[in-house]
Structure 1
């Protein structure tokens, strides 16, 4: 799914941030996906009243190797079943309807995240986290909760990890990071200035930086050496889209955790067992 779908999602999410010529091409593809997949680069340029060079630039803006890869992703999108999209709850919604809508939103968000998550960046992240001496997770507000969850997971397999929510505390930590450390900045919007500043500081110290944002260029992702994306869930009155985006962030960090644990499988099993034993020991002591 990651390799053969997601073209239309990428185009939709990047549309407003693209330069004028690339935006014209993206709009044409979104409005005429079936016609676009049968075009050559020059034919698409002519139909969108742009240039072949602009088509190539669009593909690069999407993080793709070329127009052929974009066409393959659009073809995959066209072969998928029609999806309902994100739906927010209405006044006096029935419990059954809320259940259905929230489940649909979560499934949609996870599917789209799988489509926009680049495997090459995922592999780089796993390698960096596996080798890291210490991992520093940082997010503000709801993203700070995601950071704490990630810290808890990696501590369970004996990876040194921090997840402070106080900006000054994080700045002190990151001000002393080493090249062997990894700093992960989490921000759904990608525009959280504090997170961007922490990644900038980490870059100056020579640490590896990883961003986790919604798809597209942003202040946070622009500061990261490795960029991970989630689906850009739609915000609405009751923030059901934001709820789904939180699940997508957790999903990506779960994937990272499982990948790292898999690469050191025997050690991870041992650490998990020891962590479980330690918790059970404390619980038994508290009951006495």
Structure 2
């Protein structure tokens, strides 16, 4: 990753899935971030009743180069103004309060997702999609909406793309994929079996695979050549986090699309103008005529 912040977000989102010793270190850092960035790996191991080896393993679990990388990111986090935190809605809450909470939740999710995006992985995904003969997007349930949004965006710049909601049809399409194709599996949890199987099938056909999941190793991301992540949201009651996760996924798709579009800027503008023009013509032709 190229960002110089996001360390505390990584620790928070990976905490529950870490082994016991690494979990103790993560907990200590999150509770004492200012102190942690001044310690060596050996000192942090002692303070957290673990070891320097466990500190190194934690950094590896986070996908970082080493403890220095983690300290730099945490130092960057400490320079930021404190966010209000995720807040869920309550019974009989006013519209004004819900507007404020949902807006803050969405903004924070987008910021945390930006911090988790690996610039090198994004660059690889951009090149893969730019050079792809066909891009297949696949997600189940709410993630299928993200796949359809991605398909619509790339079709508008003349990139061949599919986004079948039916698993069997998607599997049939990917079974005929070529090495020049790209298959994008979308699953917020990273645990969606159907998405993992689609990527597994794509790998057997030597197509390039991209995953879009919450941060961390998962059934889906483990099948992908290129892994893109969104932030984990934490609202438990009405799962307003499901709203934030959708926004985070759309945000990453928008970023990927813009990265591709910027590389073929003149061509993109031409295609967007052409599609906009044809939609306007169609819209004008179906307007009811005044009697």
The bucket for the TM-score relative to the shorter chain is: over 0.9
For residue 252 of structure 1, report the CA deviation from its aligned partner: 0.3
Q: How many residues align?
A: 288
- Per the alignment, residue 96 of structure 1 pairs with 96
The alignment yields a C-alpha RMSD, in angstroms, of 1.4
Instruction: Find the residue that maps to 2:220 and give its secondary structure.
Output: helix
- Per the alignment, residue 238 of structure 1 pairs with 238
For residue 208 of structure 1, report the CA deviation from its aligned partner: 0.7
Name the CA distance, whole Å, in 2 between partners of 1:21 and 1:89: 35
Unaligned runs of 5+ in 1: none
For residue 236 of structure 1, report the CA deviation from its aligned partner: 2.5
Given that 2:2 and 2:120 are in contact with CA atoms closer than 8 Å, whether structure 1 keeps it comes out as no
- Per the alignment, residue 274 of structure 1 pairs with 274
Instruction: Find the residue that maps to 1:65 and give its secondary structure.
Output: coil
Query: C-alpha offsets along residues 13-46 of structure 1, whole Å, 9 cap, x if unaligned?
Result: 1112122222222122112111110011221122
Matches within 5 A, 1:210-225: 210-225=210-225
- Per the alignment, residue 65 of structure 2 pairs with 65
2:75 paired with 1:75: yes
- TM-score, with normalisation over the residues of structure 2? 0.96
Name the CA distance, whole Å, in 2 between partners of 1:26 and 1:236: 22
Query: C-alpha offsets along residues 46-83 of structure 1, whole Å, 9 cap, x if unaligned?
Result: 22232222222211211111111100111111222122
For residue 177 of structure 1, report the CA deviation from its aligned partner: 0.5
- Per the alignment, residue 6 of structure 1 pairs with 6
Given that 2:87 and 2:235 are in contact with CA atoms closer than 8 Å, whether structure 1 keeps it comes out as no
Runs of 4+ that moved beyond 4 A: none
Name the CA distance, whole Å, in 2 between partners of 1:99 and 1:169: 39
Given that 1:177 and 1:202 are in contact with CA atoms closer than 8 Å, whether structure 2 keeps it comes out as yes
Matches within 5 A, 1:21-32: 21-32=21-32
- TM-score, with normalisation over the residues of structure 1? 0.97
Shifted more, 214-223 versus 18-27: the winner is 18-27
